[in-house]
Structure 1
Amino acid sequence: MKPLKEFVIQFVGLKVGKHHFEYEIAQAFFDYFEYQEFNDVNVKVNVTLEKKSTLLELHFKAEGFVNVNCDLTNEPYNQTIESEFDLVVKFGDEYNDEYEDILIVPHGTYEISIQQYIYELIILAVPIKRVHPGVKDGTLGSDILKKLEELSPKLNENKEKEEEEIDPRWNTLKKLLTDK
């Protein structure tokens, strides 16, 4: 996959010290990755690159929202996102990205693409179970919720019916248990 130009940081010309980069992530970014789970995206990602003499330290911070469908009602809602991630870039003989928070790039590399790290940062910030806030506080009125309420088992009512429908012969056996 060809890297997007705006997510490539050329660190060779940068002075030793901290450098800040800001990115506005929209739906087009996820379309590029062919990720279809989000309806809309509005996330700001701040990247702080601290250049040192032998390595680079990157700190990613993402804040914003993604519009997703609720897992219970399929109603779209805005899921807020706040996430942070630290990455250390070291220089070595060959490229190695086996570790989660350490990236080794070959000597002579002059730029780094951070688009994959931003993509994963946002994807992993979304909860596994996505529930509309209206479902949690009971303010969402939905046909699906009404149908779920109708079809949910009624535990207390079923117990009372079962006790009424017990064969009377079993009642005498119950007395044996209590007559000890």
Structure 2
Amino acid sequence: MKPLKEFTIPFVGLKIGKHLFEYKIEQAFFEHFEYEEFNGVNINVNVVLEKKATLLELHFEVSGWVNVNCDVTNEPFNQIIENEFDLVVNFGDEFNDEYIDILIVPHGTYEISIEQYIYELIVLAVPTKRIHPGVEDGTLDSDILKKLEELSPRLKEDKEKEDIDPRWNTLKKLLTDK
């Protein structure tokens, strides 16, 4: 997979200090990764790169929404996304990305690609169970919800009240009269 150029930061010409990079993520970004879980995307990413004498510190902030299908009703809705991540880029003899928040790049590297970190931040910010807000507060009117309500098992107490022969109620009174 060819890296996206707009997510490559050439840090060699930057002065020591903090630098802000802003990105607008849309559906085409996820098509590059062949990720098809989202119907639509509108996310803002702010990356603060702090260049120091011997290392780089990156702070990622992700906010916006992704349009996904509800796991209960399959209705599309906008899921709010917010996430943060800190990454330390250090210099060493060879490339090493074994650690979650530390990246070691070879001496002489003059740029860093951050597209994979942005992709993972967004995908991991989406809850594993996606439920439409209308399902939770009861405002969504859906045929699927009506069918689920119709087919759901009733509570045991409700069923017992309907199935009890009224003659048994008088016998139960004998047990409690002791």
Q: TM-score, normalised by structure 2?
A: 0.91
Count of aligned pairs: 174
Whether 1:158 aligns to 2:159 is yes
> What CA deviation, in whole Å up to 9, does each residue of 1:11-31 have, x standing for no partner?
001010000000000000000
Letter in 2 for 1:87: L
> What CA deviation, in whole Å up to 9, does each residue of 1:42-87 have, x standing for no partner?
0000000000000000000011000000000000000011110000
Displacement of 1:154 after TM fit? 1.0
Letter in 2 for 1:65: W
Deviating beyond 3 angstroms after TM superposition, the runs of 4 or more aligned structure 1 residues are: 161-165
1:1-180 alignment to 2 at 5 Å?
A: 1-155=1-155, 156-164=157-165
Percent identity of paired positions between Structure 1 and Structure 2: 73
Task: Give me the whole-angstrom Cα distance separating, in 1, the residues matched to 2:132 and 2:138.
Answer: 10
Task: Give me the whole-angstrom Cα distance separating, in 1, the residues matched to 2:120 and 2:44.
Answer: 14
Q: Which runs of 5+ in 1 are unaligned?
A: none
SS of the equivalent of 2:41 reads strand
SS of the equivalent of 1:99 reads coil
Displacement of 1:158 after TM fit? 1.7
SS of the equivalent of 1:147 reads helix
Task: Give me the whole-angstrom Cα distance separating, in 2, the residues matched to 1:41 and 1:48.
Answer: 22
Displacement of 1:99 after TM fit? 0.6
Displacement of 1:159 after TM fit? 2.1
